[in-house]
Amino acid sequence: MSVFASRGRSRSLIAAAAAVTAGALALAGAGPITGAAAAGTSQSGAATYLVVYRAGVSTSGAAKAVSDANGQIVANYSNIGVVIARSSDATFASTMRAAPGVEGASATAKFATRVDDGSNASSTTADPPAGNAPVSDHDSLSGLQWDMAQIHVPEAHAVTGGSSSVLVADIDTGLDFTHPDLAANYDAAASANCASGVPTPLAAGNDDNGHGTHTAGTIAAAANGLGIVGVAPGVRIAGVKAGVGLDGFFFPESVVCAYMWVAGTGAVVTNNSYFADPWLFNCKNDPEQRAIWTAERRALQFAQSKGVVFVAAEGNQADDLSHPTQDATSPDNTTPVLRDITNACAVVPVEVPGVVGVTATGNLQQKSFYSSYGVSSADIAAPGGDSILQRTAASPNGRVLSTWPANLLTATCLPARRVVDASGATYCYQQGTSMASPHAVGVAALIASVTGKQGGALATALQRAVNPIACPADTSPYDFFPAVDNGAPQTCTGGIGHNSWFGAGEVDALKAVS
């Protein structure tokens, strides 16, 4: 699965930890769009393709080239030279690779990421937004939010709950915008369903997994007296659906669509609790995987150029992303095949330049047993939960509580993890770097609310609003949780100012607004 939450072993950052110990985890302005989603969906047995043009080459002739190759255009993202097409012709990809100006073409069905339980950015600062009113952290389930207390969110809320002028986009499995803790902050106009590769409006029941509703609640659940309070309960939240189904697969066309969509919404920061591509490690030295990597990276960097900050979950494989040697997880939508890899292979989006990578901590403020890490990819840490090594009186099950769709509570949230507010609102405990990333996103939203920072300036401020944590003197507890992919022991390298487990340190919401 590409989501990094805690339900089972999957490609999501969270899932990796689940596989280590049975039961440990339950489940990490766009250019003109031409064509229509319906154009390709009518073809029986058709496959979806990404066609990547060489940098600087116009895609204006793409419709004819695709038609000549027996395909149909789904979307033409001309600003980044990427075309999404559908075809039932087995020779479509090879024909398109030979077309003038085309750099690569790949079918996307085998390139999906799954949700799992377990810079080029601009640097600008505008005037601080209005409406930074304090809020109270006395909702009915606030006492269960050890994660918020740990990073001083209630103290920050005495300064501000965030401004409604600030928009946060949650790229995930969608979100339940009817949930009473999310409805007031939901921005329908900035939300989209990118499952087809073309943005369409989000419909009711769009979150068919629960993961996206959980991450959205951590970011922006309202301070309204019921349930929980998010890190930034005063900001607007947009759901951008890129993950589909109970497994939460994030296909490349959906990911590209999501990145291009948020570029035009005015969002200041996005949450990315997943990895994109069926290949956990996407190897740029492989022609097919390189086309996917190029398309996704171009779309992400286009959004960065519009001032959007990307914050991403590090993953749940207990892997050192800076020193990869094997990938035993991919392709995660079929049968994984063990393959040797190098640093030519990277996890998308967390290892794309300029993306802020987040590792997970538990209630003892140590790295969660499942969290992946890396001195080159881990920028900050945030609470993601730890159900094995860091259970405490404040966090008896080690997990993070957040919003969950009522229609999925019995289907996708285990009985021991379900919580129902007196009002009937539904919540679920989860763990994973999927849960850590939205805490950091909420802190970034508070910074944007009080300072007006955007782009690279906001990303830098987020990485400074931390409490440094040194590598532990004793890492023996982690000996029982070697890397999922290559079996290597977990090791922490670096100093207290920056290390492979915590980056610059754990986020601190009070420092962010002070």
Best CA proximity match to 108, nearest among 252, 5, 3, 7: 252
Q: Which stretches of 201-241 are assigned E, i.e. beta strand?
A: 236-241
For residue 447, give every residue at least 6 positions away whose Cβ sits within 8 Å of its Cβ, in sequence order, or none: 453, 458, 461, 462, 465, 512, 513
Best CA proximity match to 290, nearest among 103, 77, 48: 103
How far apart, in whole angstroms, are the C-alpha atoms of residue 499 and residue 48? 41
Contact by Cβ (8 Å): 335, 282: no
Strands 243-244 and 167-172 turn out to be unpaired
Best CA proximity match to 225, nearest among 180, 187, 185: 180
Tokens of 347: 């996890």
Question: DSSP assignment of 101-163, as one string?
Answer: TEEEEEESTT--B--B------EEE-PPPS---------TTGGG-HHHHHTTHHHHHTT-S--
Contact by Cβ (8 Å): 279, 337: no
Best CA proximity match to 4, nearest among 217, 188, 172: 172
Within the chain, how many helices (H) and strands (E) appear? 13, 26
How far apart, in whole angstroms, are the C-alpha atoms of residue 368 and residue 85? 41
Catalytic positions are 172, 211, 434
Calculate helix-pair angle for 455-464, 433-451, nearest 10 degrees: 110
For residue 392, give every residue at least 6 positions away whose Cβ sits within 8 Å of its Cβ, in sequence order, or none: 146, 363, 364, 398
Contact by Cβ (8 Å): 278, 289: no
For tokens 């309204």, the residue is 224
Question: DSSP assignment of 449-467, as one string?
Answer: HHH-EEHHHHHHHHHHSEE
How far apart, in whole angstroms, are the C-alpha atoms of residue 344 and residue 131? 46
Burial (CB < 10 A; 0-12, 13-18, 19+), residue 194, is buried
